[in-house]
Amino acid sequence: MNKRKEEFLKREKKWKEDIDSYPKRDYNFNSISGKNLEELYYPDNPNDEYIDKLGFPGQYPYTRGVHANMYRGKLWTMRQFSGYGSPAESNKRYHYLLSQGQTGLSIAYDLPTLMGYDPDHPISNGEVGKCGVSVATLNDMEILLKDIDLSKVSISQTINGPAIILLAFYIALAEKQGVPLSKLRGTLQNDILKEFTAQKEWIFPPVPSMRIITDMLSYCTENMPQYNTISISGYHIREAGATAAQELAFTLADGFTYIEYALEAGLRIDDFAPRLSFFFNSHLDFFEEIAKFRAARRIWARHLKEKYGAKKESSLKLRFHAQTAGCSLTAQQPENNISRTAFQAIAAVLGGAQSLHTNSMDETLALPSEKAAEIALRTQQLIAYETGVANVADPLGGSWFIESLTDQLERDAEKYFEDIEKNGGVIQAIEDGYFQREIAKSAEDYQRLIDEKKLYTIGVNKFIKNDEDIDIPILEIGSEVEGERIKYINNLRNNRDETMVQQSLNTIQECCRNENNILPAIIEAAKSYVTLGEIVTVMKAEFGEWQETPAF
């Protein structure tokens, strides 16, 4: 027996031992016709390429998944990105979604919150509660998550520029609930690099922003071992017009940059890398998306092991949340979005997602209505319990097409890594507009194909209904929300200890200056009901604000 065969049999034995030790869902994993399905399918006589690139789920390089039996052990977390109006209104939606079988919460914040403004700031005018929930104080967080046990429900927060402040509110709330920080599960998006590249909701310049993120990473590594401090996000890069290869490469390059800053700050790779997670887009090209997810795991594992010297398996495993492609949804014939979302969601599952959000059919028109959100959740449940795609780990692994796409995307990503390095690394490339130019070119190319009808969008440039009358219920956020929020914030300021507020702000300002970790000071400020906008103003005074260099 040659050494390669011995290596394969060794890995096979290890995988079978892992399968026996993993939890198993109480579920019938046979096909509908009664055929017994194995946990995994693989060749009896694998070649060298199979052994090196594919192997087994739960084993390096994790091409076939991060867990040995994948969804036969545990289904992905089902999330719906939700939040609108006031904290009280959003709290009702959260309880409704949990009652309908959702297994994790994902908080959508409104634009003023995302940009670090209180609801009474002039810039907030007309935007309060419109695209998400308005949160400006610890009291808001208390209302938002009222009667939700933080020790049991995983909470994801989509927040970046002021992420450290919303994390402080969350930590302060957990302490008030008596929940040990070590039990908190969830994810903070906290990916400022993709903001500079794609979404454009930044506050501070890149270098101080990286210092803030490193402070959070350091604090959570020490105090919150089950919490994902950064969700490195390709989703918004793709929504801005990037290709699958660009999404893959730019997202992973951002991840490597966070690692390098953390190492420079004195953190050890195996202490923090296991709590880095990813957030990818699941787009229209079904097979390319599946291959993208598989390539991401392989690239991450190899770089963490070979370049950064990670030793723990948990450091090498790329875990990711996926969301179906919002930019693919159409206002025309919006019911078609239900089908689009289902196809994209299945691609994410076949690609091995640990968490999934399905978009609602009405999101091009307004925030999701309760009915549309329920349909989106039911889409995930149908995939999980009726299609059979969760019954086998990596069911498309070994497909000539899938493996070829996976290899090609890996090569494309590595080429982009070289280009980024030539441009001085991620921070320099952001400041020079490299990423922005690359994405803009791809977006233009894609739109040209649509305009020339070389790519079809059903209802837009193919099978058009000229006399269409859109007749679906729309969630409308009234202007009274903004008035109520302004009244609330003014009342809060009139009934708090202003001496404590000023002391808290002085402490934050001093931490910004002296390089002490900023997060503990912001947590204490939160407990004194200092507002989001007040904290951001003090931090801006020390760190400045970012003005983007034109990309062209």
In tens, the pLDDT along 286-309 reads 999 999 999 999 999 999 999 999
How many CA atoms does the CB half-sphere of 549 hold within 13 Å?
13
**What pLDDT score does 472 carry?**
83
Q: Which of 358, 362, 361, 363 is nearest to 382 (CA)?
A: 358
Range with the poorest average pLDDT among 185-199, 238-252, 457-471: 457-471
Which pLDDT value is given to residue 552? Answer: 61
In tens, the pLDDT along 109-125 reads 999 999 999 999 999 99
State the sign of the Cα–Cα–Cα–Cα dihedral 51, 56, 57, 59: negative
CA distances from 15 to 54, 65, 129, 252 (A): 13, 12, 49, 27
Average pLDDT over residues 364-387: 93
Q: How far is 518 from 507, CA to CA, in rounded Å?
A: 9
Amino acid identity of residue 90, one-letter, is S
Tell me the mean pLDDT in the region 359-366: 92
Q: Does residue 549 have a pLDDT over 80?
A: no
Whether 471 shows a pLDDT value over 80: the answer reads no
d(CA 195, CA 247): 13
Tokens of 205: 């310049």
Mean pLDDT of 169-182: 96
**Strand order across the beta sheet in which 227-228 lies:** 227-228, 186-188, 154-158, 104-108, 77-82, 355-357, 320-324, 276-282, 230-233
Query: pTM value?
Result: 0.94
Where is 104: in which H helix or E strand? strand 104-108
Judge whether residue 551 has pLDDT over 70. no
Q: What is the average per-residue pLDDT within 418-441?
A: 96
How many angstroms separate the CA atoms of 146 and 92, rounded?
9
> What is the structure's pLDDT at 547?
86
Q: Is 125 helix (H, G, I), strand (E, B) or coil?
A: coil
Q: What is the pLDDT of residues 520-533, one digit of tens each?
A: 999 999 999 999 99
pLDDT value at residue 1: 58
Give the pLDDT confidence score for residue 48 in this predicted structure. 85
Locate 410 and state its tokens: 């890996």
Q: Where are the beta strands (DSSP E) in 159-270?
A: 186-188, 227-228, 230-233
pLDDT computed for residue 71 by the predictor: 97
Pick from 56-60, 298-302, 548-552: least confident: 548-552
**Predicted pLDDT at 81:** 77
CB burial of residue 466 (10 Å; 0-12, 13-18, 19+): exposed
Q: At residue 40, does pLDDT exceed 90?
A: yes
pLDDT beyond 90 at 82: no
Query: What residue segments make up the domains of the chain, in order of their start?
Result: 70-451
Q: Is the peptide bond before 23 cis (omega within 30 degrees of 0)?
A: no
Q: How confident is the model at residue 248 (pLDDT cuts 50, 70, 90)?
A: very high
Confidence of residue 330 (pLDDT cuts 50, 70, 90): very high
Judge whether residue 550 has pLDDT over 80: no
Residue 274: pLDDT band by 50, 70, 90 thresholds?
very high
498-514 and 532-543 helices, crossing angle to 10°: 30
Answer whether 353's CB lies under 8 Å from 384's CB. no
Can you say how many angstroms the Cα of residue 141 is from the centroid of all Cα atoms in its chain? Answer: 20
- Segment 439-466 shows an average pLDDT of 96
What's the CATH architecture for 70-451?
Answer: Alpha-Beta Barrel (3.20)
Phi/psi region, residue 214 (left: phi>0; alpha: psi -120 to 50; beta: rest), is: alpha
Task: Give residue 367's pLDDT.
Answer: 84
Q: Quote the CA–CA distance of 527 and 533 in Å, as a whole number.
A: 15
User: Phi, psi at residue 355, to the nearest 5°?
Assistant: -155, 145
Q: Could you say which DSSP state residue 153 is in?
A: S
The torsion region of residue 204 among left (phi > 0), alpha (psi -120 to 50) and beta comes to: beta
